[in-house]
A and B are shown apart, each in its own frame.
Chain A
Amino acid sequence: MSQKLLKLVSRLGCCWLWLVPLVGQADEPPLRVEVTAPYIEMHTGPGDAYPIDQVVERGEWVEIIKRRTDWFQVHAHRDRTGWVHVEQMRMTRIAEGVPLDVKQYTLEDFKQRDWEFGFLGGDMDGAAVLSVYGGYSFNKNLSAELSLSQSLGTYSSEYLVDVNLVSHPFPEWRYSPFFTVGGGMINTKPDTTLVQTEDRTDSTAHVGVGLHTYITRRFFLRAEFRHYTVFTSREDNEDFDQWKIGFGFFF
């Protein structure tokens, strides 16, 4: 992660200073693999639509420069560079009997995740709501989350900050349900075109239920329902429901 950050900083720095040719590639020597298939095809770009302009034959060695989605940029001798699909990279080896083990995220990785982030959209009491959240899993069954939401109604907009605990009773299920309980703050801001009313901030508590399912790579789908109670300074507490659906990715 920190290496990635370093790379980003150096690249942004390069753009800023226009020192493009000075960018050093990774310090470590690139990984070299030997082709074991009759040949592998090099595309001119990282996509199926880009034409194949070179092939590398069995027994030749190539250097892996980088990976983007399912495509590997490789460099072969006689100064050939191109992009090879992951399925063809599986037909290479690091050494005798050691095929290239390409990292593919699976359902198992999803079950073992530590961190997750996601975006959700939906309905809150008749208004559109947008949320972003981050979560950390203590174990397969319990995680903690922090979420920020904005609800955009006709007459007012609301900001919500919530901290909640999530219980996953069936982490092994493909469609795994979860239960959540937490609390937070809500800030209500009436539209300026209405009669002037004041901003107000109240504390909230919520309970919820949801479902998530692994899609592909680092992605999963998440849908949830939450029931909120707002502890107002007035006589009665307010209640409202929130429905959301969205996706998340995990690390």
Chain B
Amino acid sequence: MENRIRILFLVIALVLSAPLMAEDLIGDGLRSEPVVQPEIARREIVEPDIDEEDFEVGGYVGFLSIEDFGTSPVYGVRLAYHVTDDIFLEAAAGTSTADKTSYELLSGNVQLLTDDERDFTYYNLSAGYNLLPGEAFFFNRYALNSQFYLIAGVGSTRFAGNDEFTVNVGAGYRLLITDWMAVHLDARDHMFESDLLGEAKTTHNIEVHGGLTVFF
């Protein structure tokens, strides 16, 4: 009986130590130096530094027809990022000053808004889709790339002292004078809810502008 127990313990001890011994053997084997030392000449690969031009920045000047308040000059700046050759994202901000309503003009002295309240400023973020890429020919010497695009987005407009959530939709034409400079013609409808003249309504404020942008 005693012998059996002793044998059992020995067997257990042997089984438990076997992996350790094996590891020692393998470890010794691996630690020896390889017979052949590989000689690989590694080539330095420098990631090429290619000029990327996905951003487009510029300014514009045009006319904004503020509903009920006449038409006034508008100035703005825009920054676009071209995601693919079809899609771009654009952030824009512009400012204008509202004219007088026909009521104010006819009645003489009535002022519906103070001078500060006549400031019409907006910002928006829009997504554009280049619809009709093409070439425009100029004096049978130059072929200029062009794109017609549809654009829509959301933003905020401050007018008459209030900030209003504004949706804009429009279309434009981009003519590339050089590889990095473009002329724009753009039409945009800025729509927001207003209760300025008594009842709440959706106002349409149509803007037409021309601009110049550079890619960088």
Contact = CB atoms under 8 A, between A and B. Distances in A.
Contact of B50 (A66, A157, A219): A66
A47 B215 contact: no
A219 B215 contact: no
A102 B212 CA distance: 31
Interface in A1-15: 4, 7-8, 11-12, 14-15
Contacts of A26: 51
Nearest to B180: A11
Contacts, number: 116
Given A97-B43, A101-B47, A121-B154, A68 B160 contact: no
Interface stretch (B1-9, B61-69, B83-91, B93-101): B83-91
Interface residues of A, number: 50
B169 interface: no
Contact of A150 (B50, B134, B156): B156
Interface in B80-138: 81-86, 91, 117, 125, 130, 133-135
B155 interface: yes
Range, interface on chain B: 35 or more
15 contacts: A7-B216, A11-B180, A14-B214, A15-B214, A64-B48, A66-B52, A70-B84, A98-B43, A130-B156, A157-B156, A157-B163, A189-B163, A191-B162, A193-B195, A219-B83
Interface of A: 4, 7-8, 11-12, 14-15, 20, 26, 28, 31, 44-50, 64-73, 94, 97-98, 100-101, 103, 119, 121, 127-128, 130, 150, 152, 154, 157, 189, 191-193, 217, 219, 249
Interface of B: 43, 45, 47-55, 57, 81-86, 91, 117, 125, 130, 133-135, 143, 145, 154-156, 160-165, 178-181, 193, 195-196, 212, 214-216
